[in-house]
Structure 1
Amino acid sequence: MGTGMTMVNIAMITIGIVECYRLKCAQKDCTNYGESSSLSIFWQVLQYTFVGASGVFMYLGQLEFFNAQAPNELKSSGSTLCMTSITLENHVSSLLVTMVMKISIEDHMSRWIPGNLNRDHLDKH
């Protein structure tokens, strides 16, 4: 699980570097907001590789922990509990993003996650 946490940190650093480069390309290439950037989608491959690998290490480690700690009669319950916790993580994350979006729209601010990232940057909020 420690390897998974390390890989998440590497992924976040990679995401930050790619986003800085994307912003520079968007400022240079996109004079109109309707235009798209010339930056290739393949710049995201490395960051998604790190995120995917970290998920494998984290979820397999978590599943192994649940299976190792549960008695033989409750192994399937441990696996179910592991998958339920992963599902809850995803739902809470989605709920938080939805709440922040609704709050930011009600205060007449620009949206937190705009429809066009070249028009409004997340780094300026």
Structure 2
Amino acid sequence: MVPDQIYIGSCTHSRIEDLRVVGKILRTNTVRINTLISPGSHSIFQQAENEGLIKIFLDAGCKIIYPGCNACFGGSIGLLGKGMSGLTTTNRNFEGRMGGDETTNVYLASPATAAASAISGFISDPGVNQ
């Protein structure tokens, strides 16, 4: 399955430990899918920046969005349109949660699976892409 977008973040799976896992996988790679990363809080963003993770994400082609409630609840940045599919590290995927309609598919994944999938261009096992 080829997702149209990958979203790593929200209050779930955006701790500094999660971002370190993503950084390790993305370190020398480029994403093939629109990938949004939202650290869990401003302090996590600052820590990720201090550790060089934000630079790794940007160099890999990811977009960094502000910490807080975003696409995961249908808020603003990163909404999916009708018929689109998304892979997300959030904790819910009921209809309309991230935008779209009944033709929109949202798949839940770990940060490692999301990062590996961003590199491969399809839902992937993180053990294969590391």
Note whether the superposition's TM-score is higher than 0.5.
Answer: no
Quick one: higher RCO (CA 8 Å, sep 6+), 1 or 2?
A: 2
Whose strand fraction is larger, Structure 1's or Structure 2's? 2
> Larger helix proportion, structure 1 or 2?
1
Which of the two has higher C-alpha Rg? 1
TM-score normalised over the length of structure 2: 0.20
Given the two structures, how large is their TM-score scaled by the length of structure 1?
0.20
